[in-house]
Structure formats: C-alpha cells, structure tokens
C-alpha cells in the first residue's frame, strides 16, 4: 500500500506516469532509503545493553502530505532540469482507507539518542534518489 509514496518520486523522475491512489491531502511518515538502511545497520550494531529488553525503535521520520511530496519533486526536478512524467490522481477508496488508518507520527527519540540519522528534507530525499538510482 505504501508503494504509491515512493512512486510519486520514482515514476515521474523517469518520465513515467504515476497513478496516485490517494488524495493530495493524505499524510504519511517518510524516511529516505539511505537513512532507512543506515538506521537498520545502526540498530544492528547498537549495544544491546543500551536497548535493554525493549527492542522497539522507530527510525527518525517526518510527516508530509502528498501535496508537499509533489511540490518538493517539482522543485528538485526544476533545479536539475528534469522533465517529469505526469502524476494522475485516481483515488482508490480502499487504498486511501488503509493509508489513512496508519499512525501519523512515531516517537523517535530513542533512535536519535542512538545517533541514527534522520532526513533533512524531502528535497534531500529526492536528490539522494536521483544520485542513487537515475
């Protein structure tokens, strides 16, 4: 269900159409691929004594609306002279109901205390995607 969020960036940056199954006011937690991987490696390497018996750690994340995702995409693409593929709204009530049922924020102070990285901005996430995949 969450694949639409990365697709908002992935398909248009490759000149492909992205069919958006949720409304643009939909919000969700976002973390870039680099920091997701770095966070998981950091957790793997963390001192078990510091973690104690509670091994639940939410990676640092930020909440953005789909509108903010699209605005950031357009900003980065314009700065890099990339022609974007279209984003076509086609709301799917089933997908939207599931996405809207997800938590809108997670407590990530434990991750920060462990030194796990967080993303600076959506623009940075998109720029990293371009560097890593395009």
pLDDT digits (tens, 9 = 90+) for 76-104: 999 999 999 999 999 999 999 999 999 98
pLDDT at residue 54 in the model? 83
pLDDT at residue 104 in the model? 87
Q: Within a 10 A sphere around the Cβ of 57, how many other Cβ atoms?
A: 20
**Domains present along the chain, CATH in parentheses:** 3-120 (3.40.50.720)
Going by pLDDT thresholds of 50, 70 and 90, the confidence category of residue 69 is very high
* Mean of pLDDT values over 39-43: 95
Distance CA 83, CA 98 (A): 32
49: pLDDT strictly greater than 90: no
Going by pLDDT thresholds of 50, 70 and 90, the confidence category of residue 105 is confident
Reported as type and span, the H/E element at residue 74 is helix 66-79
Q: How far is CA 60 from the centre of its chain?
A: 11
Distance CA 85, CA 119 (A): 25
Going by pLDDT thresholds of 50, 70 and 90, the confidence category of residue 52 is confident
């Amino acid at each position: 269900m969450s694949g639409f969020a990365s697709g908002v960036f992935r398909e248009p940056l490759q000149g492909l159409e992205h069919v958006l199954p949720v409304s643009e006011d939909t919000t969700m937690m976002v973390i870039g691929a680099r920091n997701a991987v770095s966070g998981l490696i950091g957790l793997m390497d963390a001192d078990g004594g510091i973690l104690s018996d509670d091994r639940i750690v939410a990676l640092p994340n930020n909440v953005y609306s789909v509108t903010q995702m699209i605005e950031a995409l357009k900003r980065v693409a314009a700065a890099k002279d990339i022609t974007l593929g279209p984003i076509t709204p086609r709301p799917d009530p089933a997908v939207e109901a599931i996405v809207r049922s997800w938590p809108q924020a997670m407590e990530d102070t434990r991750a920060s205390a462990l030194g796990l990285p967080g993303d600076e901005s959506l623009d940075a996430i998109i720029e990293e995607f371009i560097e890593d995949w395009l």
